[in-house]
Amino acid sequence: MMATRTENSVWLDAAVLLPDEKIPVKFSRTKKLLVAAAGLVSISNSALASSLPSGAASEIAKDFKITNPLYPVLLNSLFMIGFAIGPLVFGPLSEHIGRRLVIIGTYVGYMIFTICCAVSPSFSALIFFRFLCGVAASSPNVVVGPIYADIFDIPEERGNAVSIYGCVTAMMPPFGPIISGYVVAKYSWRLSFWIALGISGVFLPLILWLPETYIHFIRRQHMKRNNIELAVINDPYGKQQPSLREELKVVFSRPFIMIVKEPVVLFTALYLALIYATLYLFFQSYFIIYQGVYGLSAGEVGLTFLPVSGGSLAALFISLWYTSYHRRLMLSGADWAMKIEYRRLPLACFGGPLIIISLFWLGWTSFPWIHPAVPAMSGFLFGAGYIIIFMSLLNYVTDAYREFSASAQAAMSTLRSITAVCLPLAAPQMYGNLGIQWACSLLGFITLILAIIPFAFIKYGEKLRKKSPFCQQLAT
């Protein structure tokens, strides 16, 4: 039996028949739900870990006798550097060795490095292991979305799964400062990491059960086990099977190629990078605002993040409603509903103004004579806008690039994480020099400019996809 191969080093194996139980899109409903749950567990741990020390930063600095105000910021910033580096490896790697090994390996690695954080003897050791935690915790950001694309072939089901996944990414980080803030007040900052370890340990059996979902890897393994001959046709390397080095070169260069040559990936990455970095900026700025202006404790500041989670949950229901509404229009034969752009992007157009309003709201209500609940409630609009934009654009990219979505998401995740490193580092200077009001306004004005991106995709997205070599290869 023979199999063919594309120029992107992915084996095409239409001639290779697999049992139904091995084909991810034919998994039983229960199995698909368990796979989806495993994805949510892995991304939940990553999202929680990203902000976990925020409420304990001052106590950690005191414990290790740190006086430089920038050093505590490194607890999250170095984690985010790991978040930036990891996707460049794990996204493409999941397209080469499969999703399962990447998720399991990084999940176990995250648990090990969390233990190391809990027992760190020095601040240098702590931030080093936070960096390694970030590397390990980054893989769900670029692998879970493609896993959902692997098992859900119906766009509405895939969209709903990615929507829930996106909601979790925004709902979990606000709980980090709450946990660490109250734990530090009564016990020790080290207990925060032990709690994170306990949460991840509870769900370890589900992660270890996770089956492989990447169809090309499944079939390649099937061919190897059954000694099926591999025939290479139209191969850019010649008529011989490429070496592992050549294979890896193509796989790992793909994210860089996509962010440079694919406008959809580049501009989506820029927009998501700004709002993602703003969320992580809040883990610094909220303490500047609510401790500096209102004198709240670390635990009380943590509670001001709850409206962000509430807005995220509201956005999930809005997204699920729109998916159902769009499906009804498709079934009724509405012409505009048939375009990929209208399946995902209208909500993103709605989400931009929510974030803009929330930033101006936060800035211009943060005065001592205004109750702290008033600026805190701006987080509801931010959480809703963030999730609506994140889910819409992530689904759009997944729909457009399907098999290459892991590489596309790796490129986007890296840019997001780099921005999330840099912006929080600037928080003390930005809020100190500009003041709370104009620092928030500056973010609002920048968001206003980038908010035109979904509108531009609606108008020009189809043309961009037709010119994309990746999209065209999927169409053939």
In this prediction, residue 237 carries a pLDDT of 38
Mean pLDDT of the chain: 80
- How many CB atoms sit inside 10 A of residue 174's CB? 28
Q: Tell me phi and psi for residue 67, to 5 degrees.
A: -110, -20
Where in the sequence is the domain holding 143, given as residue range(s)? 4-475
User: Which structure tokens are listed for 305?
Assistant: 């993040």
pLDDT at residue 378, rounded to an integer? 93
pLDDT for residue 414: 77
| Predicted local distance difference test score (pLDDT) of residue 431 | 86
pLDDT of residue 428: 78
421 is written with which tokens?
């490193």
Of 59-63, 138-142, 241-245, minimum mean pLDDT range:
241-245
Which ranges constitute the DSSP H helices of 293-377? 298-303, 306-331, 340-364, 373-376
Say whether pLDDT at 127 is over 80: yes
Query: Is pLDDT at 104 greater than 80 in this prediction?
Result: yes
Amino acid 474: pLDDT: 57
Tokens of 260: 């440079």
Does position 451 have pLDDT exceeding 60, yes or no? yes
Indicate yes or no: pTM above 0.85: no
Higher pLDDT, 135 or 241: 135
pLDDT at 8 over 90: no
* CATH number for the domain that contains residue 268: 1.20.1250.20
Maximum mean pLDDT: which of 64-73, 154-163, 267-276: 267-276
453 within 8 A of 270, measured Cβ to Cβ: yes
| Average pLDDT score over residue span 51-78 | 75
Residue 126 near residue 53, CB atoms below 8 Å: no
What is the count of structural domains for the chain?
A: 1
What's residue 235's pLDDT? 41
For residues 60 and 155, the answer to whether their CB atoms sit within 8 Å is: no
3-state helix, strand, coil in the chain (%, to 5): 80, 0, 20
- pLDDT band, residue 48 (cuts 50/70/90): confident
Q: In this predicted model, what pLDDT tens digit does every residue of 198-234 receive, in sequence order?
A: 989 999 999 999 998 888 788 877 777 766 655 443 4
Query: What is the torsional sign of CA 27, 33, 37, 40?
Result: positive
d(CA 126, CA 121): 8
Q: Among the residues of 262-305, which ranges form H helices?
A: 263-292, 298-303
Q: What percent of the chain has pLDDT over 90?
A: 20
